[in-house]
Structure 1
């Protein structure tokens, strides 16, 4: 049983079904949907989707993009020590990806409007109680229910999601930007701001603005985003990014106060395990949370089998994941605390290079 019908929960369902394991995905919402707008998938995530037989479909709803940074004057912040492969990713729309993955899991294997309440673990099974009071047994319970995970609250008490102080993000997808955009642009600017735009596969554009150490936002969401965009372009009226923000209806703009999951002492017990943001929700400044969660799903699919030792498999999963995410945290912090935009760009490329080149080689499998 998988709790959570997001990218990681659905990918886990696909991976386990391909191993011959019966899977039911429980989603508390009344429909498969996605919080957020655009989603970057790196080569390691695409390799997982290829192995699961959906890579071609995922690429069909994405646009190949590159993660290079510029300064507010438009100058490229070069990272000559890293190759082009360390900068390439696929931009997809979250909601379209979730729909595609739900179809691959099989809609009949997804139970909507089914909230998780609690579990009781036994030697040979887990009893799961839903919010409506009904109970069901499973061999394994996977908590893929996000940063505010109810499964984590029982498995690792006292580890609620924590605010990343002063870290905010604004973003939107604009289906018809009204501008002839010939390139994507990501910018590192002053006052700890960064942002830019990426063209989508269907002719739209995804724009985003982030700020570390931000004061408490005031004004409308559009005003908040424009205030940060002013640090990202030296043009008189804020350049293309400001134009895109001004063209976006207020109700299309998403704002998030970034939340993190603290390092956990364990991710699994005998038959219960965490995956994705439930285990390691992180700052989006390295744009790799979903990709890393997809790795989790793939590893569970490799380690679990219909007749295998569940306890040993989940112990091996935890032994692999915890050290990997300790390294993720270290590399992510180097990006966040870079003293200069050039340093940010270099640490970012170092992170993506590490992530891509070390993926797919679990130390315990």
Structure 2
């Protein structure tokens, strides 16, 4: 039986482990953390990812920890922005709790197939297979090594050493999930504001409130996280209609606010050797302004499994995977760039709907 080692027990790594197992491979997932741990609070899953989870038989537990949501935008004055030519399906997604999603996927893969406290330091590849080396001196030998170890991938560092993660210059984001208490949240709100800001809030499946705010072309933050977020919230609230965003930020202790300089992986000429391949953020970490990284990474897992089933050998399968994925992500980059470059809220909303329609139907 073909054996695969998947490096990284995040959403994409666990989905890859599950997909490869369903394809008939013997799989072990290795993770440098001591248990299932995830940064961040929630994420959106589009229907292209939900279709993969349907095929893998985990649709029920995934949907049980999610809340149906829609990505409709408002302008700074509170007016909904129409997107002519695009329907509800181009705006609909599932808002899920990151940690609970990882727990559900780990249960589906099987906890006995996940090895924790395993930090990859490198690998050795030859005609007989590939050997993953870990910081504790142990090794894992397999026919295939899959790098699903994210933005700062150790697998990518060896496979393509000139592709270290880079700053998306001037792009910063703030977010948190809190109990809203007495703050009135009657609906989900997402705003494209002045000064290249965007943000809003939504109820999660368990009644908590997610708020988020981001800005392109920002000066480096130099105040508290709360103060920096409040400073930008005014760009999303002409006339005081959107006061709940500022109220949610003000109610969030500084230490509970996640503040990030957005990082990206530069375009790569190859994603694989004969026995080593990248999936998810390890291959294509992108700006989160299109909220598509997780969904696209889940698709990577399905495509890789399909290529391995259809090809006579691993090297051929990985060539087929690259031939499918690399052109697709060139188009992702083009469409994501069009959203970022939008000069008005109306153009942003239109380009965003065009992206989500293409992503979920092509």
TM-score tier by shorter-chain length is over 0.9
User: In the TM superposition, what is the alpha-carbon distance from 1:33 to its structure 2 partner?
Assistant: 1.1
2 CA distance for matches of 1:267 and 1:91? 29
- 1:184 and 1:199 in contact (8 A); partners too: yes
Are residue 44 (structure 1) and residue 48 (structure 2) matched? yes
Confirm or deny that 1:219 pairs with 2:226: no
Alignment partners' CA distance in 2, 1:347 and 1:221: 30
- Does residue 1:231 correspond to 2:235, yes or no? yes
Residues 25-65 of structure 1: per-residue CA shift (max 9 Å, x gap): 11101111111111000000000000000011111100000
Q: Contact conserved, 2:73 with 2:189, CA < 8 A, in 1? A: yes
**Partner of 2:347: helix, strand, or coil?**
helix
- Is 1:173 the counterpart of 2:183? The answer is no
* Equivalent residues in 2 for 1:66-105, closer than 5 Å: 66-105=70-109
Say if 1:19 and 1:306, in contact at 8 Å, map to a contact too: no
Residue of 111, 125, 129 corresponding to 1:125: 129
Instruction: Return the offset for 1:175.
Output: 3.3
Q: Is the 8 A contact 2:78 2:241 kept in 1?
A: no
Q: How big is each residue's C-alpha offset from its partner over 1:251-280, in whole Å with a ceiling of 9 and x where there is no partner? A: 211011000100001000000000000000
Taking structure 2 as the reference length, the TM-score comes to: 0.97
The structural deviation recorded for 1:177 is 4.1
State yes or no: 1:243 paired with 2:247. Answer: yes
TM-superposed deviation, 1:236: 4.5
The Cα offsets for residues 177-235 of structure 1, whole Å up to 9 and x where unpaired, read as 43232210000100110000111111111110000000111211111111111110124
Choose which of 331, 352, 360 in structure 2 pairs with 1:356.
360
Match of 1:283 among 280, 287, 294: 287
Q: Return the alpha-carbon distance in structure 2 between the equivalents of residues 180 and 225 of structure 1.
A: 19
Question: CA, structure 1 residues 304+138, in 2 after alignment: closer, same or farther (shift >3 Å)?
Answer: same
Kept after mapping to 2: 8 A contact 1:125/1:137: yes
Q: Does 1:185 align with 2:201?
A: no
Q: What root-mean-square deviation, in Å, do the aligned CA atoms of Structure 1 and Structure 2 show?
A: 1.3
Shift of 1:354: 0.3
1:310 aligns with 2:314: yes
**Alignment match of 1:25 (pick from 25, 29, 35):** 29
Question: What residue in structure 2 maps to residue 363 of structure 1?
Answer: none
Q: Which residue of 1 aligns with 2:13?
A: 9
Provide structure 2 residue ranges, at least 5 long, that are not aligned to the other structure: none
Question: What is the rounded CA distance, in whole Å, between the counterparts of 1:161 and 1:178 in structure 2?
Answer: 41
What is the match of residue 154 of structure 1?
158
**1:342–1:174 distance in 2 versus 1, CA, 3 Å:** same
For the residues of structure 1 that align with 2:242 and 2:109, how far apart are their CA atoms? 44
Indicate if the aligned counterparts of 1:4 and 1:27 stay in contact, CA closer than 8 A.
Answer: yes
Name the stretch that deviates more: 9-18 or 123-132: 123-132
Deviations 1:283-320 (A, max 9, x none): 00000000000000111121224994111111100110
- Asked whether the 8 Å contact 2:12–2:298 carries over to 1, the reply is yes
